[in-house]
Amino acid sequence: MKTIDQLEVRGQRILVRVDYNVPLREDGEVANNQRIVATVPTLKSILDRGGRAVLVSHLGRPKAAADPKFSLRPVAHELARILGREVQFSTHTVDAEAVAATQALNDGEVLLMENVRFFPGEEAGDAEFAAQLAELGDAYVNDAFGTAHRAHASTAVVAQHFKGRSAFGYVMANEIKNVDRVLASQEKPAVAVVGGSKVSSKIVILERLLGRVDALLIGGGMAFTFLKAQGAEIGSSLVEDEHLDTARQIMAAAEAKGVRIHLPSDVVAADRFAADAATQIVPSFAIPTGWMGLDVGPETIAAYAAVVRDAKTLLWNGPLGVFELEAFERGTRQLGEAIAVATEAGTLFSLVGGGDSVAAVEQFGLSDRVSYVSTGGGAMLEYLEGRVLPGIQAVYDAE
């Protein structure tokens, strides 16, 4: 893997694809700067070595036309604050004025271009638009893991214009390294915690993990499909009846491979999906009619925490319950705490990935207490599934 470290940058315009698709507040300011902060080491590597950083990103889902609601200008202000230096902003993205703005840069300066999704050629992966983007730089760095699964012009096509002058930034390199560490780990026991609402969205991940982990801890709404497949009475809990056979097949495959699947033994059941619902703790195999499981119970939490304590490698993808509601956050929060404690003790390498899991560790203040939090979302899930990510493959092909 060729990283920014191996790229000659002094006096060069380094076109960097970053993922600055960040939430904005109503006043237009950046609400969460995690993705911006993550790119700072890559940018400092370029700037401190005399390079000229030209940054391209998307923000939101504009309809392939300029829209002030999706302008990256607020991001330029936030990046300048974080870097402690001026960040120039170009309202032009790929025309002659845009190219001129990049050519006017001095060593150690930063220029952020306007939203690439203002152009239909970006999402279409258009070769002509990619060629226009290529005019903005002398070398190319992809540091946008969160968009690596999209075959867009700025992520998967532009790299072909920089043969021998392409590399990964630190965000991208760290994502690949850390996910690969889990998938190929020889540090046993290896454990995966997989939650979320539906089995259907996790089938490929579950099947792939069976050859790589010693135990699977299943939670969230998807657990009830597995439980019903074993004959459980699950009340009004979320279930995918069309995937009962899928659940049985996964359990049979796990048994054949010697992988132990852990399912909830008790749940926090509610009489309706609401923050102020009536609740009771019941066995997961006997949820009363009209009640639904919205979190794992204390017995399950203790059992899952015991597995975590013995683990050496762990992937966490998906919450154990509806953690957004205080009444049903305990399972996810206490599992996260168990993972954090084992990580801090030095006995566990823990990777957290997937939107809801990342949201949970942030909500509970655990982000700095686990080994690595993936910024990738959908990209990480596709990478876990073993798919070729266009944004990654493009850089490998251009190295």
Encoding tokens for residue 393? 């493959």
DSSP 8-state symbol, 160: G
Residue 354 reports pLDDT greater than 80:
no
Helix (H, G, I), strand (E, B) or coil at 106: coil
Give ranges for CATH 3.40.50.1260 in the chain.
4-173, 185-384
Evaluated on CA atoms 112, 118, 124, 128, the torsion sign reads negative
How confident is the model over 69-82, as a mean pLDDT?
96
Distance of CA 98 to the CA centre of its chain: 31
Q: Which CATH architecture has domain 4-173?
A: 3-Layer(aba) Sandwich (3.40)
* Per-residue confidence (pLDDT) for residue 34, from 0 to 100: 86
Residue 356 reports pLDDT greater than 90:
no
Residue 299 reports pLDDT greater than 80:
yes
One of 3.40.50.1260, 3.20.20.80, 3.40.50.10240, 3.40.50.300 is the CATH number of 185-384, namely 3.40.50.1260
Buried b (16+ CB within 10 A) or exposed e, 249-281: ebbeebeeeebebbbbbbbbbbeeeeeebebee
How confident is the model over 239-244, as a mean pLDDT?
95
Cα separations in angstroms, 218 against 191, 194, 301, 302: 11, 5, 11, 14
Give me the amino acid identity at 256: A
Secondary element (H or E) of residue 165: none
How confident is the model over 271-277, as a mean pLDDT?
96
* Per-residue confidence (pLDDT) for residue 355, from 0 to 100: 64
Give the active site residues.
Answer: 35, 198, 355, 378
> pLDDT (tens digit, 9 = 90+) per residue, 106-136?
999 999 999 999 999 999 999 999 999 999 9
The reported pTM is 0.86
Residue 182 reports pLDDT greater than 90:
no
Residue 376 reports pLDDT greater than 80:
no
Residue 73 reports pLDDT greater than 70:
yes
Q: Which of the residue ranges 62-66, 201-205, 384-388 would you say has the lowest mean pLDDT?
A: 384-388
Nearest to 176 by CA among 152, 148, 196: 148
Residue 225 reports pLDDT greater than 70:
yes
How confident is the model over 23-36, as a mean pLDDT?
91
Averaged confidence pLDDT in the chain: 94
Q: Which of the residue ranges 21-35, 216-230, 236-250, 339-353 would you say has the lowest mean pLDDT?
A: 21-35
Residue 195 reports pLDDT greater than 90:
yes
